Chain A
Amino acid sequence: MIYLEFFLSFLKIGAFTLGGGYAMIPLIRKEVVEKKKWIDDEEFLNMLALSQSVPGVMAVNAAFFVGYKLKGAKGAFCTILGSILPSFVIILLIAAVFTRYRHLPQIEAIFKGIRPAVVALIAAPLWNMARAAGMMKTDKHKYTNRQIIVSWLLLALPIASALLIWLCNISPIWIIIITIVSALAIVEFRKRRSKL
């Protein structure tokens, strides 16, 4: 009953990982590479690269890859269902209860404390994310002055997008589309220039 195994493995991954996508990677690896040996480490890395290049929820993309690779559409159906079912059921229960009781003064008080915390949780990783993306370089031994200056100038991109969304109410989707088109144009331009 490989299908049931698919479903249960991903059900476990979905039910026991808190904090979303990236927190799931080690658990997925342990389950599908180490325990079940459905794919090997090299394939696992390919799976990560692919599920991160495709938009959408990374864990679901990863579930698709494993299920589809081993047993086609039926396999993918089982792994995906397993990975989303815990979230779906738990959130439904909470949403049903929460919409009924959210106006109780006790619940209101709790969420008055939580709301600013949520904003901080969203804002805090920005610094590290920017550095991970190759912005704000400081190491003078590793990079040339030009690379350091460019890496700081690149900050203009996220700052401009944040301001456009925040102040001009522009949809993030437009910003993503413009980024994709410009990136393609830049790659094409570089390719042609290097041929000359």
Chain B
Amino acid sequence: MMYLYLFLSFFKIGLFGFGGGYAILSLIQYETERYGWLTQQEFADMVAISQTTPGPIGINAATYVGYNVTGTVLGSALTTFALILPSLILMFALCNLYFKIKDNVYMVGVMQGLRYIVVGLIAAAALLLMTPENFIDIFSYALFFLVFIGTLFFKINPILLIISSGAVGYVMYYICQ
């Protein structure tokens, strides 16, 4: 049954996952919380791992959740397959008429509407992660602030920021304690 739920969840995520990696993460966040597959803390860890390893974030996240929930390679393969299946069906159907799609007024309207909404989806993902488990003390807020500034204004590589935050965490919460 677990496998069936995983398949259906990730199929749904693949079917509605418009707007790139982070937008897909927000769908994964909702589904994994609903079924109790990941806590917000585990979700944050999963995002960090998906970001620092190569490949598309959606595939990384699906593989991770599949393994985390079932503990098997089969579970990982199932979630990854379920995630890409809807887009493959749609790509297959649209590939032959792709010249018409681009300038279709309905398509353009829908894509524009989704571009507004995706910003909200990603904002919600960030808000949901602001839990006391993820922000344990004043240093957490300081790290949040520094990484925010570093990304937005100095365009520092996100992987570098994750690794440095990990190093700071190691010093602050292990060596100093």
| B-binding residues in A (CB < 8 A) | 14-22, 24, 46, 49-61, 64-65, 68-69, 76, 80, 83-84, 86-88, 90-92, 94-96, 98-99, 102, 105-106, 108-130, 132-135, 154, 157-163, 165-166, 171-173, 175-177, 179-180, 182-184, 186-188, 191
Contact = CB atoms under 8 A, between A and B. Distances in A.
A165 B141 contact: no
Interface in B92-119: 92, 94-95, 98-99, 101-102, 105-119
Given A84-B55, A91-B60, A161 B117 contact: yes
Contact of A109 (B91, B161, B169): B169
A119 B44 contact: yes
Contacts of B168: 113
Contact of B144 (A65, A116, A163): A116
Nearest to A135: B116
Contacts of A80: 84, 88
Nearest to A173: B16
Contact of B25 (A16, A22, A94, A122): A122
Interface string B139-176: 01101111110011000001101100111111011100
A100 to B, nearest CB: 11
Interface string B116-134: 1111111111111110001
B68 A87 contact: no
Interface size of B as a range:
35 or more
Contacts of B105: 187, 191
Given A95-B64, A121-B51, A111 B126 contact: no
Contact of B124 (A19, A166, A184): A166
Nearest to B99: A46
B153 to A, nearest CB: 9
Contacts of A172: 16, 26-27, 30, 121, 124
A163 B67 CA distance: 31
A114 B174 contact: no
B147 to A, nearest CB: 4
A56 B86 contact: yes
B44 A129 contact: no
A158 B27 contact: no
A61 B20 contact: no
B144 A92 contact: no
A102 B143 contact: no
A133 B117 CA distance: 10
